[in-house]
């Protein structure tokens, strides 16, 4: 009934999202195809559509984008019903996380949709040689995403032969990716602009040498947790791929010499180098001098970074919009004072920085008026004074994590005066009482609140229902109180041990 009303009442509809609308059936889609002939974008992700729905979808002759993420009612039989008469205008198809599709169904899709420019099959079928070979039927394909897929023998190599027009290839968390296969693929994809090999843990400097030699025009490269890459190999990125705008080397062997080489990438706007335990302030100084357009930098758990490095970044990269300094335990209010000059800063993560205080947060609040996301968990010296400054100056604040801070009812109630605040995490705030929490919840129009489970019995049930009726979702956390901050190298070793297990 609902979809029918939309179809009849909105004949000029161009963009429609029915994500998570599990009541959608072929009847509603039939009416949609009949009435909304101008539809360009249709999102049916996480719905229960089945084989009978496809004829209606394929009648949408102006459809350009079709999203079918997590549609487990779709199987090979449903896809086999597709034919050459289906929508010739379709350019983007996303079938990621649709677990009942195999390479047989994907080959049916490829044959029926030869004009696709972008195809996302992440976390679907294992990639077999016949499936990879079938991609040659999509001669204009520019983007192929296969994150989380398992590559069978020669499956990756054949992509290099079949998809020579690719501009973007995403292989994040794929198994079966080897130096030999990846080197061959990039040698064939000379026009590749974006490559994601996050967590492809078997690749070494051999792959890195091939990537940087064959694809010097890359603008985006993601290599997080490629743990076999050595510091010397990582220097090749800066020496050969100088057009990079986005680079992710989180949890690699990057050192200051690598950062010095990366300083040649003067167009960098996003740099993620968290959990790189060998980088220091000296390396950051090279980036700050050469990359003035940097907007986003992630230094999560890069424990050797201090105020000196952060100050260099703030002065050399005044356009910064987001910085993650979580667990960089050497930084103090001096870093925040420097960052307060970055007036476009909207995201600040300083979780686990025990030496920053409300004085530093006050500098951020007064200087960075666009601040919308703030994580100050385990910043023990931040108290009510910091919250008062936020309430006075940070009117764009939307999300904050206060867990383990020294904030009391006064600070929480002050914070609740921020009209647009939507998401608050206040686990383990020993200075907050049930009455203070209730007062803050009743004033603020929050959409999501994370609280310790102990508060659940202290707050009147009727009060919780009132807040929920206003659209707020409560998430109750039952975590033990843990103040200790583990050194970054110890934390990394524990994480690696867990991965091995």
Extract the runs of DSSP E, i.e. beta strands, from 103-217: 118-120, 143-145, 168-170, 194-196
pLDDT exceeds 80 at position 83:
no
Give residue 153's pLDDT: 87
User: Vertex 122, ends 141 and 139: CA angle to 5°?
Assistant: 10
Collapsing DSSP to helix, strand or coil, 161 comes out as helix
Collapsing DSSP to helix, strand or coil, 368 comes out as coil
**What is the average per-residue pLDDT within 138-142?**
93
pLDDT exceeds 60 at position 476:
yes
Give residue 316's pLDDT: 97
Q: What is the DSSP letter of 408?
A: B
Record the tokens describing residue 79, joined without a space: 């896809």
Record the tokens describing residue 364, joined without a space: 């951020």
Record the tokens describing residue 179, joined without a space: 């130096």
Residue 52: which residues within 8 A CB-CB, separation 6 or more?
Answer: 25, 26
Give residue 496's pLDDT: 62
Give residue 500's pLDDT: 52
Give residue 459's pLDDT: 85
Sign of the C-alpha dihedral, residues 283, 289, 291, 295? Answer: positive
pLDDT exceeds 60 at position 398:
yes
For 95-130, how does the pLDDT look when each residue is reduced to its tens digit (9 = 90+)?
Answer: 999 989 998 999 888 888 888 999 999 999 899 999
Distance, in Å, from the CA atom of 176 to the CA atom of 142, rounded to the nearest integer, reads 23
pLDDT exceeds 80 at position 493:
no
Closest CA to 345 of 353, 337, 333: 337
Q: What is the DSSP letter of 135?
A: G
Phi, psi of 72 (to 5 degrees): -80, -5
Please tell me the chain's helix, strand, coil percentages from 3-state DSSP, rounded to the nearest 5: 35, 15, 50
For 207-223, how does the pLDDT look when each residue is reduced to its tens digit (9 = 90+)?
Answer: 999 999 999 999 999 99
Q: What is the DSSP letter of 475?
A: E
Q: In the block, which residue shows the tokens 């034919």?
A: 83
Give residue 443's pLDDT: 84
Give residue 263's pLDDT: 96
CB 371 within 8 A of CB 364: yes
Closest CA to 414 of 447, 404, 432: 432
For 269-304, how does the pLDDT look when each residue is reduced to its tens digit (9 = 90+)?
Answer: 999 999 999 999 999 999 999 999 999 999 999 999
Give residue 463's pLDDT: 87
Categorize the per-residue pLDDT at 70 as very low, low, confident or very high, splitting at 50, 70 and 90: very high
CATH homologous superfamily of domain 1-125? Ribonuclease Inhibitor (3.80.10.10)
CA-derived radius of gyration, the chain: 26
Give residue 497's pLDDT: 59
CB 299 within 8 A of CB 271: no
For 230-278, how does the pLDDT look when each residue is reduced to its tens digit (9 = 90+)?
Answer: 999 999 999 999 999 999 999 999 999 999 999 999 999 999 999 999 9
Which residues is 175 bridged to in the sheet?
A: 150
**What is the average per-residue pLDDT within 363-389?**
97
**What is the average per-residue pLDDT within 465-491?**
81
Give residue 302's pLDDT: 94
Distance, in Å, from the CA atom of 353 to the CA atom of 350, rounded to the nearest integer, reads 6
Give residue 163's pLDDT: 92
Q: List Cα–Cα distances, 389 to 111, 338, 356, 401, 414, in angstroms.
A: 60, 17, 15, 16, 9
Task: Work out the mean pLDDT of the chain and round it to a whole number.
Answer: 92
**What is the average per-residue pLDDT within 129-140?**
91
Categorize the per-residue pLDDT at 187 as very low, low, confident or very high, splitting at 50, 70 and 90: very high
Q: List Cα–Cα distances, 101 to 76, 91, 117, 125, in angstroms.
A: 6, 20, 21, 6
Lowest mean pLDDT among 80-94, 277-291, 306-320, 374-388: 80-94
Give residue 299's pLDDT: 98
Element (H, E) at 315: helix 307-316
**What is the average per-residue pLDDT within 430-438?**
90
At CB < 8 A and 24+ separation, what contacts does 481-485 make? 481/428, 483/378, 483/380, 483/404, 485/327, 485/329, 485/352, 485/354, 485/378
């Amino acid at each position: 009934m609902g979809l029918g009303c939309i179809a009849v009442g909105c004949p000029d509809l161009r963009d429609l999202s029915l994500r998570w609308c599990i009541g959608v059936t072929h009847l509603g889609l039939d009416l949609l195809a009949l009435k909304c002939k101008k539809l360009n974008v249709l999102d049916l992700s996480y719905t229960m559509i089945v084989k009978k729905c496809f004829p209606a979808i394929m009648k949408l002759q102006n459809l350009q984008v079709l999203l079918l993420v997590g549609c487990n009612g779709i199987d090979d039989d449903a896809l086999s019903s597709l034919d050459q008469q289906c929508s010739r205008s379709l350019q983007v198809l996303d079938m990621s996380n649709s677990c009942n599709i195999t390479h047989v169904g994907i080959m049916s899709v490829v044959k029926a949709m030869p004009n696709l420019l972008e195809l996302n099959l992440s976390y679907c079928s294992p990639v077999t040689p016949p499936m990879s070979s079938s991609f040659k039927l999509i001669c204009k394909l520019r983007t192929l995403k296969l994150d989380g897929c398992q590559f069978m023998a020669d499956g990756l190599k054949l992509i290099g032969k079949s998809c020579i027009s690719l501009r973007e290839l995403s292989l994040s968390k794929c198994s079966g990716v080897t130096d030999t296969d990846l080197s061959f693929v990039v040698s064939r994809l000379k026009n590749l602009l974006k490559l994601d090999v996050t967590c492809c843990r078997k690749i070494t400097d051999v792959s890195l040498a091939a990537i940087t030699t064959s694809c010097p025009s890359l603008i985006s490269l993601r290599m997080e947790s490629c743990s076999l890459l050595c510091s010397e190999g990582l220097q090749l990125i800066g020496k050969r791929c100088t057009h990079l705008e986005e680079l992710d080397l989180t949890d690699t062997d990057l050192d200051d010499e690598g950062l010095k080489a990366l300083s040649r990438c003067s167009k960098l706007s996003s740099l993620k180098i968290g959990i790189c335990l060998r980088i220091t302030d000296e390396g950051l100084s090279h980036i700050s001098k050469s990359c003035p357009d940097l907007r986003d930098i992630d230094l999560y758990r890069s424990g050797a970074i201090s105020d000196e490095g952060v100050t260099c970044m703030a002065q050399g990269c005044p356009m910064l919009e987001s910085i993650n300094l979580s667990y960089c335990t050497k930084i103090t209010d001096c870093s925040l004072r420097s960052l307060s000059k970055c007036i476009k800063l909207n995201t600040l993560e300083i979780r686990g920085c025990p030496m920053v205080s409300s004085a530093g947060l006050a500098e951020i609040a007064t200087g960075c008026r666009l601040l919308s996301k703030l994580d100050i968990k385990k910043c023990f010296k931040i108290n009510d004074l910091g919250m008062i400054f936020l309430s006075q100056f940070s009117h764009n604040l939307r999300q904050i994590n206060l867990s383990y801070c020294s904030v009391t009812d006064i600070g929480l109630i002050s914070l609740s005066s921020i009209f647009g605040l939507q998401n608050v995490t206040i686990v383990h705030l020993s200075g907050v009482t049930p009455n203070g929490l209730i007062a803050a919840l009743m004033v603020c129009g929050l959409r999501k609140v994370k609280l310790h489970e102990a508060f659940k019995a202290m707050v009147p049930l009727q009060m919780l229902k009132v807040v929920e009726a206003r659209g707020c979702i409560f998430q109750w956390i039952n975590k033990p109180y843990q103040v200790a901050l583990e050194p970054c190298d110890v934390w990394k070793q524990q994480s690696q041990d867990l991965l091995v297990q």
